[in-house]
Structure 1
Amino acid sequence: MRKPQIDYTAVFRALPGMVALLTPDLVYADANDDFLRLAGRTLEQLLGRYIFDVFPENPNDPAAAGMRETRASMLRVVATGERDTMALLRYDIEDPQRPGVWREHYWSPVNAPVLGSDGRVALVVHRVEEVTELFHARGGPNGDSRARVLEAELYTRARELQQVNERLRQAHAREREVALALQAAMLPAPGPTGPHEAAVRYRPAVGALNVCGDWYDLVDLPGDNLAVAVGDVVGHGLAAAGVMGQLRSALSAACRVADGPAQAVEALGLYARFVDGAEATTVVTTFIDWDSHTITYSCAGHPPPALVRLDGTVVFLDQATDPPLVARPEHLPRPQARTPFAEGDTLVLYTDGLIERRDEDIDTGLGRLADSLTHHRHAAPETLADVLLAELLPSTGNTDDTALIVLRL
């Protein structure tokens, strides 16, 4: 059966309902026939023009907010790459045949992104349902007054709900800024690691609250050895940032006095039982002994570190895996395992945001990480860290934050 030849331009023109395409600068790129008919404009009057130059706010209505709300919705789409459904709004339009005469309109708009090959928003789809007739009189010149009152009340409640949602969004945005500042203060750049290059990265998630559960740490040990750890607190926002700071500090102290990573993680687990919000935290800790060229590690529910050998072989350190912190009602010793390394190998620790996707098995993400590490194994740690984030994280941003450490052994 031959694939039908579809004229998508003709389909766009014939789409039922008002649909327009705008650039990220909110300039009209196209509009379908229903949009032109119901808006009372020609395509020539729209193309290449800023949307609010064509449809300004009604200057005779000081309470008008349709332009501000529509612009805010479209800019959110451009910034986030996500669809934005607006509450019902009133947006008066000047009669093109009678300048200075404004016609009352009620719209139910949805704005959606069209992504380009680079993953950025290339166009904004602006779809509008014209519901003005619902607010016009019924059954005669004066209409059904009771229905009109009910409709007006519904419209008022919808506007109030939209205003509440906007205030919540602004509050979440402020919390995100504070949480990111706190995160930056608690995750400084690594100190000197002798002749061994190290790179660390933290990439916050897309969204107002999905930030601040992940951490990394590098701790000097006796004998010029090194402990490297990453962890992930369940939860987001300021509460998760506070828990993260407590657990990071506790593990750093435990590593300095413990005989090995298992004992350090065991001590952290005991401490976590007395920290609200620490339940189900995952963490992996590695102790690196430069003299014996060995890595001793212990993992509490966390994705396994990756050891990249000079020949490109990738070994996942998964022989000492245990449940997350506070996941068991009783306290039990943690396991640990040891593996050798050669000078020039690379150790990579990361949180699940780097590899996990909701629509695929975790082994797929681990395989993607292994392929990238093999291909770029000769890159310096700073370069490799940037490459991993660029290749493995979605171009539109991830829904979970990501911490990453790359250490050249």
Structure 2
Amino acid sequence: MAGAEIDYGGVFHALPGMVALLTPQMVFVDANEDYVSNSGRSRDQLIGRYLFDVFPDRPDDPASDGMRNLEASLRRVVETGERDAMALQRYDVESLDRPGVWQKRYWSPINAPVLDADGTVVLLVHRVEEVTELIRARGEPADGDRAAPVMEAELYTRARELQEVNERLRRAHAREREVAVALQDALLPSPHQVGTHHAAVRYRPATSALNVCGDWYDLVALPGDRMAVAVGDVVGHGLAAACVMGQLRSALSAASRGAGGPARALEVLGLYARSVEGAESTTAVTARIDWDGHTIVYSSAGHLPPALLRRDGRVEFLDRATDPPLGARPEHVPRPEATTEFAAGDTLVLYTDGLIERRSEDIDVGLGRLADALIQHREAAPDALADALLSDLLPPGGATDDTALVILPL
């Protein structure tokens, strides 16, 4: 097989088990051979049709809720971009040979997203295993048998209990996201004047219900006509990442006021991060701007390089002082620092990876996209420029990672 091209269409149709591909609107795009044969529907009766037109709920059973449960699961996958494993479902299927006659069936479904390069859900993988025979082997009656074995009731009750637990967990995760977003809003500074200088700042949480992250930004007034500005990104998601973010942002803010420069501030932050669980592999970049000397001194701990938009339309990435992320080295090592000059009318841009990184795409492509957007909107005021960058660079359906952005006119 070395060097041979794989026929993925053939692989899909040969997959064991029932697998179908749906659009986010729940319309059949394709189904493998097992799905076609075991569902009792031909390919022509599936492809291009709405899932619940093909498999509606049983109309003579008010307690039938298989369709509603499956639809809720598929919608969660579309909204969150994450797979959803469902509890055991009873979902009866109408006989094609005998219209109006419904066959009692039990299923174990798993639904998963297919994402494009921007993290948008473009397809749904609906994998389902029929377990009707297993249920019957444990006491489920065949159609027409009026008995109600205890085993069936127990199995169905346990399945419903599991489904309720899954729903409670989903709500708990959603609540955790709300708390994390509120914590980030409380910890991140509001846009305001720093000395005589105004910076446009933006923070956009990820669209996924469970994917709140630990991005932050900070601006610190220093003696003289100087300022320290920083952005950072904690590895991980949820409330824990937001809490770590708050500790590291505060620590770097304090270090920027007392340390001898950006490199020393990151060294202090790195030492502090060793005592904070979950802080390992955090990235951060900080810069000290001196308007009297027209210089930017900067240092990066594994973070994406700041962009310097020159007043003549050129874009330079400040990448001459990049070191590994926090905690990447077992021993303390001095961090590098670099200096560049700026002119009045230049603009400094700091950001986190949610703005430019995309799955299956080289980082240089994202950096190039950022540079093009900066050049295109170089005449815009800081707040308008920040909004334009978010509009141009974030995916239409929202990013799968948080985004922090700082626009600082020089």
| TM-score, length basis structure 1 | 0.75
Match of 2:106 in 1: 106
Equivalent residues of 1:105, 1:130 under 8 A apart: yes
Cα separation, partners in 2 of 1:379 and 1:110, compared to 1, 3 Å: same
Give 1:150 shift: 8.3
Matched, 1:374 2:375: yes
Match of 1:183 in 2: 184
CA–CA distance in structure 2, aligned partners of residues 23 and 359 of structure 1: 21
Match of 1:363 in 2: 364
Q: How do 1:309-320 and structure 2 match up within 5 A?
A: 309-320=310-321
Farther off after superposition, 84-93 or 281-290: 84-93
Match of 2:293 in 1: 292
Give 1:400 shift: 2.1
CA–CA distance in structure 2, aligned partners of residues 21 and 282 of structure 1: 38
Instruction: String of CA shifts for 1:189-221, please: whole Å, max 9, x gaps.
Output: 222145644211112223343213110011111
- Equivalent position amino acid for 1:364 in 2: V
Matched, 1:235 2:213: no
Farther off after superposition, 269-278 or 304-313: 269-278
Q: How do 1:310-349 and structure 2 match up within 5 A?
A: 310-349=311-350
Match of 2:396 in 1: 395
Give 1:132 shift: 5.1
CA–CA distance in structure 1, aligned partners of residues 300 and 271 of structure 2: 15
- Equivalent position amino acid for 1:242 in 2: C
- Equivalent position amino acid for 1:55 in 2: D
Give 1:264 shift: 1.6
Farther off after superposition, 286-295 or 88-97: 88-97
- Aligned with 2:370: secondary structure? helix
- Equivalent position amino acid for 2:329 in 1: R
Instruction: Name the % identity.
Output: 66
CA–CA distance in structure 2, aligned partners of residues 70 and 48 of structure 1: 13
Equivalent residues of 2:213, 2:235 under 8 A apart: no
CA–CA distance in structure 1, aligned partners of residues 238 and 362 of structure 2: 27
Instruction: String of CA shifts for 1:167-202, please: whole Å, max 9, x gaps.
Output: 322221111111111111011322214564421111
Structure 2 regions of 5+ residues with no counterpart? 1-16
CA–CA distance in structure 2, aligned partners of residues 163 and 362 of structure 1: 42
Q: How do 1:136-285 and structure 2 match up within 5 A?
A: 159-193=160-194, 196-285=197-286
- Aligned with 1:368: secondary structure? helix
CA–CA distance in structure 2, aligned partners of residues 248 and 58 of structure 1: 60
Equivalent residues of 1:169, 1:208 under 8 A apart: no
Give 1:312 shift: 1.9
Farther off after superposition, 394-403 or 150-159: 150-159
Equivalent residues of 2:136, 2:142 under 8 A apart: no
Cα separation, partners in 2 of 1:368 and 1:262, compared to 1, 3 Å: same
Aligned residue-pair number:
383
CA–CA distance in structure 1, aligned partners of residues 389 and 202 of structure 2: 10
- Aligned with 2:244: secondary structure? helix
RMSD: 4.4
Give 1:115 shift: 9.8
Match of 1:55 in 2: 57
Farther off after superposition, 71-80 or 284-293: 71-80
Cα separation, partners in 2 of 1:120 and 1:104, compared to 1, 3 Å: same
Give 1:80 shift: 3.4
Give 1:403 shift: 1.1
Give 1:111 shift: 6.0
Match of 1:4 in 2: none
Cα separation, partners in 2 of 1:233 and 1:125, compared to 1, 3 Å: closer
CA–CA distance in structure 2, aligned partners of residues 224 and 71 of structure 1: 59
Cα separation, partners in 2 of 1:57 and 1:333, compared to 1, 3 Å: farther
Give 1:316 shift: 0.8
- Equivalent position amino acid for 1:89 in 2: Q
Match of 1:9 in 2: none
- Aligned with 2:193: secondary structure? coil
Farther off after superposition, 390-399 or 124-133: 124-133
Give 1:287 shift: 0.7
Cα separation, partners in 2 of 1:300 and 1:136, compared to 1, 3 Å: closer
Match of 1:6 in 2: none
Equivalent residues of 2:308, 2:349 under 8 A apart: yes
Give 1:372 shift: 1.8
Cα separation, partners in 2 of 1:31 and 1:355, compared to 1, 3 Å: closer
Cα separation, partners in 2 of 1:91 and 1:142, compared to 1, 3 Å: closer
Give 1:304 shift: 0.8
Equivalent residues of 2:192, 2:198 under 8 A apart: no
CA–CA distance in structure 2, aligned partners of residues 114 and 322 of structure 1: 35
Farther off after superposition, 283-292 or 205-214: 205-214
Structure 1 regions of 5+ residues with no counterpart? 1-15
| TM-score, length basis structure 2 | 0.75
Equivalent residues of 2:298, 2:339 under 8 A apart: yes
Match of 2:11 in 1: none
Give 1:57 shift: 6.9
Give 1:227 shift: 1.0
CA–CA distance in structure 2, aligned partners of residues 18 and 302 of structure 1: 41
Matched, 1:404 2:405: yes
CA–CA distance in structure 2, aligned partners of residues 361 and 120 of structure 1: 18
- Equivalent position amino acid for 1:356 in 2: E
